[in-house]
């Protein structure tokens, strides 16, 4: 049986919430693939800055390395910022998947122009600098917009999150051409299907993309 470890670089999440993530993410992989979701054992409660990324990195590397020793076949770092993905790859031989990186790979194949939606406006510069290191973003990214909802609020206030997603997409359609949207925080996972039907654009959900990419990487023996 294939086993994929998902590590959320947030500290202090309760087991019920983690189990809900496991159930949600199971729909993105084949039957028989086991998904195990955990959060870091110390560090920031959420990742919203470069400082948070640095503080999350060491416990994430420690747990990712432990997952390989425990027999997991791949690790997914559950954050659009791809926290410590490159560093963790230096410590393990199994595939390490970053949702941001995987989503850009998908966008390069299925979109002509894409919009990235992030949490709050203060997060736009950090997201922009990171994404513009990718030639995919430099060629195809139409822009980055924010919902003005923090990471925790995305799951705590689903109605507000959906309202703001609709508003952002509707407003940007009046400004720019784009045929795909990347949900630029994994707290937006599972919001995509109704938006795809309503606005006629492809919704790239990094949570599901990353899990599917991890399974593919294992099946094709594409470890580090």
Name which of 49, 13, 18, 224 is nearest 150 in CA terms.
49
CATH 3.40.50.1860 is the classification of domain 3-98+208-219 = yes
Output the pLDDT for position 223. Answer: 76
Write out the two tokens for 7.
């590590």
pLDDT per residue over 120-166, tens digit each?
999 999 999 999 999 999 999 999 999 999 998 998 999 999 999 99
* CATH classification code of 100-205: 3.40.50.12500
Domain boundaries in the chain?
3-98+208-219, 100-205
Would you give the distance in Å from CA 47 to the centre of its chain? 12
pLDDT band at 45 (very low <50, low <70, confident <90, very high): very high
* Helix axes 158-173 and 192-199, enclosed angle (nearest 10): 30
């Amino acid at each position: 049986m294939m086993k994929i470890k998902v590590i959320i670089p947030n500290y202090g999440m309760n087991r019920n919430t983690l189990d809900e993530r496991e159930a949600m993410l199971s729909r993105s992989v084949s039957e028989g693939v086991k998904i195990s979701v955990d959060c870091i054992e110390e560090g920031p409660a959420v990742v919203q800055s470069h400082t948070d990324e640095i503080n999350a990195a060491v416990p994430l590397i420690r747990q990712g390395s432990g997952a390989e020793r425990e027999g997991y076949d791949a690790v997914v770092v559950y954050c659009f910022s791809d926290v410590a993905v490159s560093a963790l790859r230096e410590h393990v031989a199994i595939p390490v998947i970053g949702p941001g990186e995987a989503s850009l790979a998908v966008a390069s194949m299925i979109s002509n122009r894409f919009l990235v939606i992030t949490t709050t406006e203060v997060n736009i510069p950090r997201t922009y600098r990171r994404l513009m290191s990718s030639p995919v973003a430099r060629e195809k990214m139409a822009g980055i917009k924010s919902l003005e909802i923090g990471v925790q609020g995305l799951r705590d206030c689903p109605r507000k999150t959906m309202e703001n997603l609709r508003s952002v997409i509707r407003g940007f359609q009046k400004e720019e051409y784009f045929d795909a949207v990347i949900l630029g925080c994994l707290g937006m996972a599972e919001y995509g299907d109704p938006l795809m039907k309503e606005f006629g654009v492809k919704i790239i959900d990094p949570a599901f993309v990353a899990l599917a990419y991890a399974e593919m990487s294992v099946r094709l023996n594409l470890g580090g």
